[in-house]
Amino acid sequence: MDDYELVPDEKRKSSGDQIIGKFLSKQSSECVEAAESLAEQCRENLELHPCKEIFSDCRKALHHYLRGAPFSDYQNSMYFDRFLQWKILERQPIAKDTFRQYRVLGKGGFGEVCACQVRATGKMYACKKLEKKRIKKRKGESMALNEKQILEKVNSRFVVSLAYAYETKDALCLVLTLMNGGDLKFHIYSMGTPGFEKDRVQFYAAQICCGLDHLHQESIVYRDLKPENILLDDNGHIRISDLGLAIKVAEGDPIRGRVGTVGYMAPEVINNERYGMSPDWWGLGCLIYEMTAGRSPFRARKERVNDCTLHHLYFSPLSLSLSLSLQLLTKDPKQRLGCTAEGSAGVKAHCFFRNINFKRLEAGIQEPSFVPDPRAVYCKDVLDIEQFSTVKGVNLDQTDNDFYFKFSTGCVSIPWQHEVGELQ
C-alpha cells in the first residue's frame, strides 16, 4: 500500500490492480483475510478514480485485526522477550565516554557544536554543547529544555533528529543528526553567483514546506526560518535545525512574542500581535525569495535595518515573478497562503510545486538536483570559529541539578533504533 501511494499517477491503476490481485483475491496464496471483504469496494473505486486513499480502509481493517489475537500471541512469544531486552539496552546510562569527540563544526548560542561518534556503533552525529554556567547567566534554562523536548517529540526526515541527551561536568549535550553538506546561507552566497536555479529552489522549498507541516501537526511553530538554519546532508536533502525559538501552541490559544531574526520576522511578530503558525509561512516566503534572488527581500546582506520598519519596505521588481513568495508574504496572516483553511495543502498545491511528488519526497526517494561533494568542507575552518569567553561569577547549586536531571534523559527511541538497525 505504501508503494501504491508513491507511484506516479499514470501507473497508479496498474499498481492498484496488482495489490487487489495479490492481497485481496481469494485465489491468491497471499490473500489477507482481514481486508478481503473490501476487495470489491477497492476495485470499484480504482475504476472510478485511482486516488491515493483507495486502500486506507484496508489499512484500518488490518490494524484492527492485528490489535487482537496476533498481538496477544506476540506478547507470549520469544520475540516480545527480545524486544524487552532491547528496551533495557536502549535505557542504559549515556555519558561523555559513550562518544568519541572530533573537530568543532561551529558555534551555538550557549556553546560549541562538534562532530562525535558513538563508540559502540560507529554512527556519526553532531554534538551541540550548552555550557551550564552560560545557560544560567543568560537565564536560558527554559529555552534549553524546551528545545530538547521539542526535538525529542518530532520525528521527521525534514527536521534534525535528537538521538541522545546527556550531561558532563560543564555542559548539557544534545546529540543530533550530522549534516555534512553545510547550510543554505553558505550555498547561496559562497558557491559562485548568489542564489539557486529554479529546480533547486523548488526542491528545497518543498522539503522545508514538509518540515514545517510536520512541526505544525505537533502544534509547534518554528519562528526562526532563515538560510543558516537549513542544513544539507551528504545526499543533498535538507533538514530544519536550531529549534531554540520553537514553541508549542495550544489549540485556540495563540501566542505573542517578538522573537526571530531581523529581516525574516513576520509583521504580526514585529507588531507584537498574537499568532499561531503564520510566522513560519512568512519565513518560507522570505527564504524562497532569497534562494531565487540571492538576497533577502527586506534588506541587503550585512545591511543593518531597524526591525520595526521592515514591514514598511517594498520588494524589488524581481520578486514580482515569484507568485508563491508574494502569497506567502501577504501582510495579513488571515489572507496569507498556508494560514487559510487549506493549511499546508494550499502551499503544496501551488503551481510552483507542479513537478514535485510530495509522497515520493516525504518517502525520501525524490532525487535532489544538487549533491554535495564528499571531498569538500562546507563549514568554516576551525581557526575561523571564534572561541567562547570564560563565564565568571556564576555558581551552580541544587536547583540547577534538578534541571539537569530533567534534561539528561539518554537515548531517544526512534533514532536509537535506526542507529542499531544500520548495524544489520
Residue 281's SS3 state is helix
Q: Whole-angstrom distance between the N-terminal and C-terminal Cα of the chain? A: 25
Handedness of CA 210, 214, 220, 222 (dihedral sign): negative
On whether the CB atoms of residues 10 and 18 are closer than 8 A, the answer is no
Nearest to 46 by CA among 2, 25, 23, 15: 15
The CB density around residue 374, as the number of other CB atoms within 10 Å, is: 8
Q: Cα 380 to the chain's mean position, in Å?
A: 24
Active-site residue identified among 224, 233, 242, 280: 224
Instruction: Tell me how far apart the alpha carbons of residues 164 and 411 are, in angstroms, rounded to a whole number.
Output: 5
Q: Is 137 annotated as a binding residue?
A: yes
From residue 314, give the alpha-carbon distance in Å to each of 291, 323, 328, 329: 18, 15, 15, 11
Annotation marks residue 224 as catalytic: yes
What lies within 8 Å, CB to CB, of 148 at 6+ separation is 162, 165, 174, 407
The torsion angles phi and psi of 416, rounded to 5 degrees, stand at -65, -40
Instruction: Tell me how far apart the alpha carbons of residues 76 and 88 are, in angstroms, rounded to a whole number.
Output: 18
Residue set of the binding site for ATP: 137
Q: Which amino acids are annotated catalytic? A: 224
Residue set of the binding site: 137
